[in-house]
Amino acid sequence: MRDLAEKWSVAPDWQGAVIATPGLAIRAVLDLSQLLVSGDLDAWARVSGVDRTGVGAFGTAQGDRYAARLARDRLLIVSNSPLAIASGWHTDGFAVTAISAGLQMFEAEGTALDAFIARGTTLDPSQASASAALSFAGISAVVYRRDGKLRIHVDRGLAAYLWTWMEIAAGNIAAGSAK
């Protein structure tokens, strides 16, 4: 029987995975808590103390705990430590889903960051939008800035694909700047 797994990229060891080219560095970000919140975001903010607004694409997130806006009634909450709020439906009108195991996060930085963004999306990186959910490198992603770096969250099943795409994009950017 044919081994169909050979068609798929092998995921690197995320713990030490780094792409480093002149002007661009990309690494996996591990050990952050990620929650998906859906429903009444005003009620969520009252219960959790986390801002209901959330940053949009290319907006800047701040603090140890912040939200990225995915839709009118949906947020991705990212935190350095788990929030003391239970997963599931809350009678206040919102649902919380622990999604840390389902999303892989990457961080990119450097002087070639705008060239990297231009290869990944047609959106203008100087114009923040209401939603951080967008198509990046041909896949659905959550994209925003934090501490001068670009953060990208993707479904874990697509992380190896995105990593391969980022390696090629970084190499092409470096080759183009060397000319």
Give the pLDDT score at 26.
98
Give 75-138 as a DSSP string: EEEEESS--S--SEEETTTEEEEE-TTTEEEEEEESTTHHHHHHHH-SS-TTS--S--EEEETT
The mean pLDDT value for 104-123 works out to 96
What does pTM read for this prediction?
Answer: 0.91
pLDDT, mean over the chain: 93
The mean pLDDT value for 86-106 works out to 96
| Residue 152 φ then ψ, to 5° | -130, 125
**Bridge-partner residues for 74, per DSSP?**
38, 71
**Bridge-partner residues for 24, per DSSP?**
21
Residue found under tokens 């041909």: 138
Question: What percent of the chain has a predicted confidence (pLDDT) above 90?
Answer: 83
Domains within the chain, CATH numbers bracketed: 15-178 (3.30.1360.120)
The mean pLDDT value for 143-165 works out to 96
Give the pLDDT score at 85.
92
91: closest CA among 39, 34, 35, 36? 39
